[in-house]
Amino acid sequence: MNAHEIDYQIYGEEMQFVQIELDPYETVIAEPGSFLMMDDDIEMKTIFGDGSNQDTGGVWGKVFSAGKRVLTGEKLFMTAYTHIGDGKQRVSFASPYPGKIIPIDLSEMDGKVICQKDSFLCAAQGASVGIEFSKKLGRGFFGGEGFIMQKIEGDGMAFLHAGGYIVERDLQPGERLRVDTGCLVGFSHYVDYDITYVGGVKNTIFGGEGLFFASLTGPGKVWIQTLPISRLSDRIMRNSRGYFGKGKGEGSMLGGLGDLLDGDGFW
């Protein structure tokens, strides 16, 4: 793989955007809807799939590339932005909700990272955005992302987006970290990913953290978000439903009964 070499700068705090600087005939690919602004000499082109095999894969290669994106919940098409003029030109992409943009040099990750669905923002031309099937039954059912996650392969820069603050952990060989399944953003492909039962009757019924944790064992990097979009949308929905909506027992088996016991249903 020979990805285009791009320069970039990330702006903002809670609502960030990344500005990509392109030399002549360099290209960056991005998810539809992430575009913010671009200079005049940049050409925008809609491509089928992720564009990684437009010249060598033939028709079926393009269909397979697009099909992989559908399985991860993405659109059939992506957008390519190419600098067709002279000098340096810039194109920018914005995060879809409050959070942080994560720059990843795939060449430092041995060419591959695994991430949650919908986290990919943009990447240098040459990156492949595909699917990663879970080989473990329990992880597929209870891991929060089902049996399919995204994988990004290549040797250039890629950018992910996640909610809230981003914690990056560099796990040593054999070091294990347990994470809320919804807070896991991604990890290098050397990391062993599984799920772990929370354990304990009180933890299960009253803990409010669900039944399982994501268990990650090093070596490798792990990225964790403090505010997954599912948690944010759930809080908005609960508040919009008023006093008798789902409350603090959101992840427990008690649900609304837990709110009544702690007084939220009465005051």
How many Cβ atoms sit within 10 Å of the Cβ of residue 203?
A: 15
The pLDDT of residue 47 is: 85
Residue in the structure block whose two tokens are 């099909």: 67
The pLDDT of residue 253 is: 44
Summarize pLDDT for 179-197 with one digit per residue, the tens: 988 899 999 999 998 888 7
Any residues with CB less than 8 A from the CB of 50 and at least 6 apart, and which? 29, 65, 68, 69, 78, 127, 128, 129, 130
The pLDDT of residue 5 is: 85
The pLDDT of residue 150 is: 86
DSSP state, 259?
H
Cβ contact 155:2 at 8 Å:
yes
pTM exceeds cut of 0.85? no
Q: Nearest-CA neighbor of 187 among 116, 130, 254, 121?
A: 116
Domains annotated on the chain, with CATH: 7-230 (3.60.160.10)
- Token duo for residue 200: 């304990």
Q: How many Cα atoms occupy the beta-carbon half-sphere of 183 within 13 Å?
A: 20
The pLDDT of residue 135 is: 58
The pLDDT of residue 236 is: 77
The pLDDT of residue 33 is: 87
Low-confidence ranges of the chain (pLDDT < 50): 56, 137-147, 201, 203, 206-208, 243-254, 256-267
The pLDDT of residue 35 is: 95
The pLDDT of residue 28 is: 95
Q: How far is CA 239 from CA 206, 229, 245, in A?
A: 21, 15, 7
Q: How many Cα atoms occupy the beta-carbon half-sphere of 13 within 13 Å?
A: 0
- In three-state secondary structure terms, 264 is coil
